[in-house]
Structure 1
Amino acid sequence: MSVPNSGAARRPPPAGIVSRGLAVLVDVFVLALVGVVVEVGVGCARLLVVGPPFQMPDVPNWLAGAFGWGLAVCYLGVSWVVVGATPGGRLLGVCVTDRAGRRLPAVRALVRAALAVSFPLGLLWIPFSRRRAALQDLVVRSNVSYDRVYE
C-alpha cells in the first residue's frame, strides 16, 4: 500500500468573484477613511496657518478625483509588492502573485493597480475565466488565489 506524497506543496485554489469583491469593498472603505483623514488633516493645517474658523478644503472635483485615483493606485500597488495582499485581501485570505506564486514586481503591481482602479468592471470576467482571472490579471499575467490550502 503506497501512501501519497502528503508533504508535496499544493497550490491554493484561485479566489472567486465573491471573495475578491468583498476584499474590494473593504479596501474601498479603507481608502475612503484615508481620504477623510487627509481632508481633515489639510483642514487642521489650514487652521494652524490661517487661523479660525476651521474649514474643510474646497478642492476642485478634477483634483480630488486625480488625488483619489493616485492614492488608490499607490495603496493597491504598494500592498501587492510589500505584503502580497491589501488589507481587504488579508481579511478575506486572498493574495496577488505572479503565475509562479511569487510577489509581483513593482511595475507589474502598479500597472495592475492602475487597471483595477480605472476599469473595476474587469472583475466581471472572473466567472467566465477557467482560471478565475479578471481582465487585469490577464494583462499583467497575475494570479489571485487564497493564501493557504485547507485540507
Structure 2
Amino acid sequence: MSTATVRLRVAGVVTRCAASVIDLVIVLIVLGVAYLGLMLASFTYAPRHYHMPSLSLIFSGTATVVVIVVYLASSWTISGRTPGAALMGLEVVDVRGRRIGWRRALLRAVFCTFFGVGLLWSGVDAGRRSVQDIALRTRVVYTREPGVSASALAPPPGNGAAHG
C-alpha cells in the first residue's frame, strides 16, 4: 500500500483516556522519585538533624505542572507519542498526518495540563477531536503497525492528498 493511500484512523475517547491514565501514572512515579531524591539529599546533607522535607502546596503544584508539560511536550516533539500513547497505539499528528513541531507540542501540553477535561469532547465530536485538537489543528490517530509512526505513513506535503 503506498503512503498516498493510507487513511489515518482517529482515536476515540476511551483509548485516549487509557493512554492519559498510563501517562499520569508515569508522571506520579517521576514525582515520587524526585521526592525520594530530595529526601536522600536532605539526609546526606545533615543526617543528625534529618526530618522529612515538607513541601508547600505552591512548590508541589508548580513542580507537578512543569513535569507534566515537559513530559507531554518533549514526547510529542521527539516521537509524536507519549509512552502511554505508544502502549495504546496512538500518535499526535497535525491535520496532514505529520508530526507536530515543538511550539505546537508545547501549546498542546499546556492546554492539556490546564484543560484536561477538553479530552472528553472527543467522545461527542463527529471527528473524534478534543477541544485541544480543534484549537491547535491536531489529531490523535491510531498507528498502523507497532513501532511505525503515523507521520511516517503520511504522504509528503504538497502532493495533493487530502487528510481531513
Residue 43 of structure 2 aligns with an amino acid whose one-letter code is L
State how 1:14-25 maps to structure 2 within 5 Å: 14-25=10-21
The aligned residue for residue 72 of structure 1 is 68
Residue 52 (structure 1) shift:
3.8
Length-normalised TM-score, structure 1 = 0.90
State how 1:1-151 maps to structure 2 within 5 Å: 6-7=1-2, 8-52=4-48, 55-148=51-144
In structure 2, how many angstroms separate the alpha carbons of the residues matched to 1:113 and 1:124? 16
Gaps of 5+ in 2: 147-164
Residue 143 of structure 1 aligns with an amino acid whose one-letter code is R
Distance 1:11 1:53, change over 3 A: farther
| Contact 1:97/1:142 (8 A) holds in 2 | yes
Any idea what SS the aligned residue of 2:92 has?
strand
Distance 1:139 1:51, change over 3 A: same
Gaps of 5+ in 1: 1-5
In structure 1, how many angstroms separate the alpha carbons of the residues matched to 2:130 and 2:91? 14
Percent sequence identity over matched residues?
Answer: 33
Count of matched residue pairs = 145
In structure 2, how many angstroms separate the alpha carbons of the residues matched to 1:133 and 1:37? 34
Q: What do residues 38-71 of structure 1 show as CA deviations (whole Å, max 9, x unaligned)?
A: 0000110111112246543211011100110111
Residue 57 of structure 2 aligns with an amino acid whose one-letter code is N
Length-normalised TM-score, structure 2 = 0.83
Residue 33 of structure 1 aligns with an amino acid whose one-letter code is I
